[in-house]
Amino acid sequence: MKKIVLVMIAVMLSFSAHADADKGKKYYLKYLRPYFEINGQEFASEHLKVEWKRFFKNDGKKFIKKFSKQYPQAQEFLESDTFQKIAPDVADFAIKYAADSGELADCN
């Protein structure tokens, strides 16, 4: 019985560790849109899924470099601990609604 409970807890923890595209949408609207000045759909559809995955590899270093150059006013935020915390969710959001995803984000 004890083993079953431990396995159930391990499974529950593994699911909670995954990023969430819905949270990513909220984070994009709250933190990034004021800097980027484009809605979430425009943002996500700027790149293909594979491109977003590349940008967010290695703690989002390529994303930070690209978007800091494109939006210098966002550089301080993109280099912050807050961005590191939300980056996995923003990545899931961008990948889910990427140009080649066939899905449209409902956020303006």
| 5 within a domain of the structure (yes/no) | no
Q: Contact at 8 Å (CB) between 96 and 103?
A: yes
pTM of the model: 0.80
| 107 within a domain of the structure (yes/no) | no
What is the number of structural domains in the chain?
1
Residue 88: domain span:
21-97
| 43 within a domain of the structure (yes/no) | yes
| 48 within a domain of the structure (yes/no) | yes
| 13 within a domain of the structure (yes/no) | no
Which amino acid, one-letter code, is at 100? D
| 6 within a domain of the structure (yes/no) | no
pLDDT tens for 3-38 read 654 444 444 444 445 789 999 999 999 999 999 999
CA 67 – CA 75 distance, rounded (Å):
8
| 76 within a domain of the structure (yes/no) | yes
